[in-house]
């Protein structure tokens, strides 16, 4: 069970007023997009992005880096009952240093659990670690590797890493993860129109900025 590997992030309360109404124009995080119904991806979220989560009704947030959130974000998570999970993923910068497939299986189990939806996953920029994990999820969906790489490069832009693509291709889901994917018919989970923007996931990506930021 993935609970053994997941860190439930501590929620610290602060004196922050989150009662303001939703703005007419929602401020989305960098590289924010819908992966499938109920699953979202983005760059690192801040206090200015809380209205997006509220509009979607996010139940779970999963981050792939150990850095914590700003006080306003922690308060939002606590007051809205949002479960905050952390599964640190090693950046694929050196071929000999990478996350174990067991760790990726943990991420896949979290993503596939309907009780966690709507869920948003993120790293720092939403490019590499997030892209790698979504690529592995696409493997579970039965996507061709060429299509997975195309999506990965779309979000990574000029910062795409060959080792991320190698990592995705090498991922072998455990029998239990494959069985879960089959039972839930994950292959049929659709890439829906974005609930907030009306755009496809690739079009939502165009809302991001500073694409070449490190």
- The confidence score (pLDDT) of residue 114 equals 97
Q: Which CATH class is domain 33-185?
A: alpha beta
- The confidence score (pLDDT) of residue 27 equals 77
CB 109 within 8 Å of CB 2: yes
Which of 69, 33, 79, 28 shows the shortest CA–CA distance to 50? 28
Query: Which residue ranges make up each domain of the chain?
Result: 33-185
**What DSSP designation does 121 have?**
E
pLDDT digits (tens, 9 = 90+) for 152-194: 999 988 888 889 999 999 999 999 999 999 999 999 998 765 4
Is the pLDDT assigned to residue 204 strictly greater than 70? no
Q: Which of 9, 86, 123, 136 is catalytic?
A: 123
- The confidence score (pLDDT) of residue 49 equals 85
**How far apart are alpha carbons 103 and 99 in whole angstroms?**
6
CA distances from 132 to 92, 113, 204 (A): 9, 19, 19
pLDDT digits (tens, 9 = 90+) for 123-150: 998 889 999 999 999 999 999 999 999 9
Extract the tokens encoding 59: 């139940």
Which of 98, 88, 71 shows the shortest CA–CA distance to 5? 88
In percent, the amount of the chain with pLDDT more than 90 equals: 55
Nearest 5°: the CA angle 177, 135, 129 is 105
86 among known catalytic residues: no
Is the pLDDT assigned to residue 7 strictly greater than 50? no
pLDDT digits (tens, 9 = 90+) for 87-125: 999 988 877 668 899 999 999 999 999 999 999 999 998
The reply to whether the predicted model has a pTM over 0.75 is yes
Contacts of 129 (CB under 8 A, 6+ apart): 64, 65, 89, 91, 123
| Bond into 171 cis (ω within 30) | no
**How far apart are alpha carbons 173 and 102 in whole angstroms?**
8
Q: How far apart are the first and last CA of the chain?
A: 34
- The confidence score (pLDDT) of residue 14 equals 27
- The confidence score (pLDDT) of residue 51 equals 86
């Amino acid at each position: 069970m993935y609970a053994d590997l997941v860190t439930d992030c501590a929620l610290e309360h602060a004196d922050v007023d989150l009662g303001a109404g939703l703005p007419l124009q929602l401020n989305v995080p960098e590289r924010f997009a819908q992966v499938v119904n109920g699953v979202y991806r983005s760059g690192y979220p801040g206090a200015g992005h809380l209205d997006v989560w509220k509009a979607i009704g996010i139940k779970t947030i999963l981050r792939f880096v150990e850095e914590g959130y700003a006080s306003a974000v922690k308060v939002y998570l606590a007051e809205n009952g949002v479960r905050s999970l952390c599964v640190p993923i090693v950046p694929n910068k050196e071929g000999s240093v990478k996350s174990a497939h067991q760790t990726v299986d943990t991420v896949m189990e979290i993503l596939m659990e309907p009780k966690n939806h709507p869920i948003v996953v993120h790293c720092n920029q939403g490019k590499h670690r997030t892209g790698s994990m979504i690529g592995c999820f696409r493997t579970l969906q039965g996507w061709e590797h060429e299509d997975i790489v195309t999506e990965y490069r779309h979000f990574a832009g000029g910062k795409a890493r060959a080792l991320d693509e190698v990592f995705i291709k090498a991922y072998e889901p455990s029998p239990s993860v494959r069985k879960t994917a089959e039972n839930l018919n994950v292959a049929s989970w659709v890439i829906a129109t974005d609930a907030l923007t009306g755009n496809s996931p690739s079009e939502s990506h165009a809302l991001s900025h500073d694409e070449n930021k490190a």
